[in-house]
C-alpha cells in the first residue's frame, strides 16, 4: 500500500488515530500514536523516542532515535474502540534516518537483500506453524515470599476453571487432543475468529485445528508466503491471537512449555528457495526428491544448529520443551516425514511447486525477524560451502524414530543445547555466518547474549516451587 492508499483508508474508515508499532530485541511490541493529520510529517521526519528506555537498544548517553512508519504495512486495527490505523515502522538513527543495526525489521530486510546479492536465490517462501494454548484462567505471581501459577481449562477434567462444574460432560480426560472434534474442541469458534482476522490482513491460512495438548492447545498454519511479507504478518498474527483470546475471556500463550508433562508449543518453519520462479529445492530422483541445493541448505542449518538455538529457542523455558517423548527434536538431523528430526521433509510435498523443508526446533519465544533471518543465513552458508548432510557426519537422513535407538546410537548424533546458557555459549563460539552481508552485527550479538544472560540468571537465582517439595522439610 502506498501513501495515497493509506489516505483513502483514513477517509473511508474515519480514522481517529494512527498507531505505529516497533519491536525490541526479544520481540515485544511497543507503540506510539498520533492524529492522522500528522501522517505526512511523521513519514518525513519520523517519531522521536528514547532508545535507552528500550532494553538492549541504546545507552543513556546516545539514546535519541526515531521510528519511521512504513505505509506498506498499514491496516485497520480490529481491536480498538476508536477507529485506528496501525502500521509497523523502522527504528532509525535520529540523524541519518537509516535503520539501526539492532532494529529487527531492518535486519530482516538486510537478510533478504543479502540472499539476492549472493545470486543463489531471489526469493524465499515460508510457512510458519503457530502453536499456542488457550486457558480459561492464567494466574501468575512472583515475589520474595511466594511464587506460583495456575492455569485452568474447561476442556480438561483435571483442571477445570473456578466454579465450572462440567455439567454437560464435555470436558475430557485420558486422551490426546489432536484434531479432537466439537463439542470437545471447545474453542474452535475462537480459532475461526482468529483465522478470519488473519485472512483479513492478507495472510491466507492453510488450516487450523486442535493440537495434541488436551488443555486447549491450538495450531494455525498459513500458506507459503514470501519472507519479506510473512515476517511482518507474523507479528500481526501473534497480536490477533492474543487479542481475540482476550475478547473471548481466554488467555493465549506461546510459551514452549507452560504445562509439566504435557505437549509443548513449537514454531515450525517450512522453507523453500526460488530463483526466477523455479523451486531450487526440487530435483526428482534423489533422496525425497531434494536437490543438492536443498541438501546444502539443510547441511548449513544443521552445522550451525547449536548456535542457531540461541535465536530460534531463546528462552529458559524453550529447553523444557526440547526433551524426548513429545515429538520435539533433541538431535540435529533430517529425515523424510520424521517428527523426531530437527528438519523434516514433508512426505506430502511432492511437486516442484510444494517441495520444501520443515525446521521443527524453534518456538514462539523467538524474535521472528532474528530467528528467520538466522535460519536463512545458515542455509545460505551451507550452500556456499557445499555442506552436505550425511549419515557419516551424523546429519542423516534418518527415517526411523531415533527415540527408539540405543543410547550408544543416539550419542553419535549432535544434540540441541540442554539449556539457554549452553545455546548462548554456542552462539559466542559460532556466529561468523550471521555476519555475512552485515545482516547481524557483533554489537547486536553481544547485546543479545548479555540480555539473555540476564534471563538465565533471573531464573537461576530464584527458588523453584518444586524445590519446596524436595527440600523444605530436610
Where do the H-state alpha helices sit in 47-166?
104-118
* Grid cell digits, residue 133: 494454548
Helix-helix angle 368-384:104-118, to 10 degrees: 20
Strands of 204-310 (E only): list them. 205-210, 217-222, 225-226, 251-253, 269-275, 278-279
Beta pairing class for 357-359 and 147-152: unpaired
pLDDT of residue 468: 94
- Give the global pTM: 0.95
Whether the Cβ atoms of residue 356 and residue 435 lie closer than 8 Å to each other: no
- Residue 312 CA to residue 165 CA, distance in Å, equals 40
pLDDT of residue 97: 78
- Residue 356 CA to residue 333 CA, distance in Å, equals 16
**Residue 436: closest CA among 473, 394, 387, 383:** 383
pLDDT of residue 62: 52
Whether the Cβ atoms of residue 312 and residue 362 lie closer than 8 Å to each other: yes
pLDDT of residue 339: 80
Whether the Cβ atoms of residue 17 and residue 80 lie closer than 8 Å to each other: yes
- Residue 224 CA to residue 101 CA, distance in Å, equals 28
Angle at the Cα of 358 from the Cα atoms of 135 and 73, rounded to 5 degrees:
70
pLDDT of residue 447: 94
Site of grid cell 525425497? 288
Residues 6 or more apart whose CB falls under 8 angstroms from that of 444 comprise 101, 102, 107
pLDDT of residue 459: 96
- Residue 227 CA to residue 409 CA, distance in Å, equals 37
Give me the long-range contacts of 140-147 (CB less than 8 A, separation at least 24): 142/462, 147/462, 147/463, 147/465
Q: Phi, psi at residue 331, to the nearest 5°?
A: -125, 145
Give the CA distances from residue 227 to residues 115, 205, 270, 338, 397, in Å, rounded to whole numbers and listed in that order.
11, 16, 11, 25, 27
Give me the long-range contacts of 286-291 (CB less than 8 A, separation at least 24): 287/336, 287/397, 288/336, 288/345, 288/397, 289/350, 289/355, 290/345, 290/355, 290/357
**Residue 254: closest CA among 129, 395, 69, 94:** 129
- Residue 157 CA to residue 174 CA, distance in Å, equals 9
Sequential pLDDT tens for the chain (474 residues): 889 999 999 999 999 999 999 999 998 989 999 999 999 989 988 888 877 778 777 654 456 788 999 999 999 999 999 999 999 999 988 777 788 889 999 999 999 999 999 999 999 999 999 999 999 999 999 999 999 999 999 999 999 998 888 889 899 988 899 999 999 999 999 999 999 999 999 999 999 999 999 999 999 999 999 999 999 999 999 999 999 999 999 999 999 999 999 999 999 999 999 999 999 999 999 999 999 999 999 999 999 999 999 999 999 999 999 988 777 899 999 999 888 899 999 999 999 999 999 999 999 999 999 999 999 999 999 999 999 999 989 898 998 888 888 888 888 899 999 999 999 999 999 999 999 999 999 999 999 999 999 999 999 999 999 999 999 999
pLDDT of residue 63: 65
Q: Phi, psi at residue 127, to the nearest 5°?
A: -125, 115
Domains, the chain, ordered by start:
3-100 (3.10.20.70), 123-471 (3.30.590.10)
Give the CA distances from residue 340 to residues 122, 217, 260, 337, in Å, rounded to whole numbers and listed in that order.
31, 20, 20, 9
Beta pairing class for 84-93 and 17-23: parallel
- Cα radius of gyration (the chain): 23
* Grid cell digits, residue 295: 541438501
Helix-helix angle 368-384:292-303, to 10 degrees: 120
Chain centroid offset of residue 207 CA? 18
Catalytic positions are 50, 129, 131, 211, 219, 268, 339, 358, 360
| End-to-end CA gap in the chain | 66
pLDDT of residue 414: 93
Amino acid at each position: 500500500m502506498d501513501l495515497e492508499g493509506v489516505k483513502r483508508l483514513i477517509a473511508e474508515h474515519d480514522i481517529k488515530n494512527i498507531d505505529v508499532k516497533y519491536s525490541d530485541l526479544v520481540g515485544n511490541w511497543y507503540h506510539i500514536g498520533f492524529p492522522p493529520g500528522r501522517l505526512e510529517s511523521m513519514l518525513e521526519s519520523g517519531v522521536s523516542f528514547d532508545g535507552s528506555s528500550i532494553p538492549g537498544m541504546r545507552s543513556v548517553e546516545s539514546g535519541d532515535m526515531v521510528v519511521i512508519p512504513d505505509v506498506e504495512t498499514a491496516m485497520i486495527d480490529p481491536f480498538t474502540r476508536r477507529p485506528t490505523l496501525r502500521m509497523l515502522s523502522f527504528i532509525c538513527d535520529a540523524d541519518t534516518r537509516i535503520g539501526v543495526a539492532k532494529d529487527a525489521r531492518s535486519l530482516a530486510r538486510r537478510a533478504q537483500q543479502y540472499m539476492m546479492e549472493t545470486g543463489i536465490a531471489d526469493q524465499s517462501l515460508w510457512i510458519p506453524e503457530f502453536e499456542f494454548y488457550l486457558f480459561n484462567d492464567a494466574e501468575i505471581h512472583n515475589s520474595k515470599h511466594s511464587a506460583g501459577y495456575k492455569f485452568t481449562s474447561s476442556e480438561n477434567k483435571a483442571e477445570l476453571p473456578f466454579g465450572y462444574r462440567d455439567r454437560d460432560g464435555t470436558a475430557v480426560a485420558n486422551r490426546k487432543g489432536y484434531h479432537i472434534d466439537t463439542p470437545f474442541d471447545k474453542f474452535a469458534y475462537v480459532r475461526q475468529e482468529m483465522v478470519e482476522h488473519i485472512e483479513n490482513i492478507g495472510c491466507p491460512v492453510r488450516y487450523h485445528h486442535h493440537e495434541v495438548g488436551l488443555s486447549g492447545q491450538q495450531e494455525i498454519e498459513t500458506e507459503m508466503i514470501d519472507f519479506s511479507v510473512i515476517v511482518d504478518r507474523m507479528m500481526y498474527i501473534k497480536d490477533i491471537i492474543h487479542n481475540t483470546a482476550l475478547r473471548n475471556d481466554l488467555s493465549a500463550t506461546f510459551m514452549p512449555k507452560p504445562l509439566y508433562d504435557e505437549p509443548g508449543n513449537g514454531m515450525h518453519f517450512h522453507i523453500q528457495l526460488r530463483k526466477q520462479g523455479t523451486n531450487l529445492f526440487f530435483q526428482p530422483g534423489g533422496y525425497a526428491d531434494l536437490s543438492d541445493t536443498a541438501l546444502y541448505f539443510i547441511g548449513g542449518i544443521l552445522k550451525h544448529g547449536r548456535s542457531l538455538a540461541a535465536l530460534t529457542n531463546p528462552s529458559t523455558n524453550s529447553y523444557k520443551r526440547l526433551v524426548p517423548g513429545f515429538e520435539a527434536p533433541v538431535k540435529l538431523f533430517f529425515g523424510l516425514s520424521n517428527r523426531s528430526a530437527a528438519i523434516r521433509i514433508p512426505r506430502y510435498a511432492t511437486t516442484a511447486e510444494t517441495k520444501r523443508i520443515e525446521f521443527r526446533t524453534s518456538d514462539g519465544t523467538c524474535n521472528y525477524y532474528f530467528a528467520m533471518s538466522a535460519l536463512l543465513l545458515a542455509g545460505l552458508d551451507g550452500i556456499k560451502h557445499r555442506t552436505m548432510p550425511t549419515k557419516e557426519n551424523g546429519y542423516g537422513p534418518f527415517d526411523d524414530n531415533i527415540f527408539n535407538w540405543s543410547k550408544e546410537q543416539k550419542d553419535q548424533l549432535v544434540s540441541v543445547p540442554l539449556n539457554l546458557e549452553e545455546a548462548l555459549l554456542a552462539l559466542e563460539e559460532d556466529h561468523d555466518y550471521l555476519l555475512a552481508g552485515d545482516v547481524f552485527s557483533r554489537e547486536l550479538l553481544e547485546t543479545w547474549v548479555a540480555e539473555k544472560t540476564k534471563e538465565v540468571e533471573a531464573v537461576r537465582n530464584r527458588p523453584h516451587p518444586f524445590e519446596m517439595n524436595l527440600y523444605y522439610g530436610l
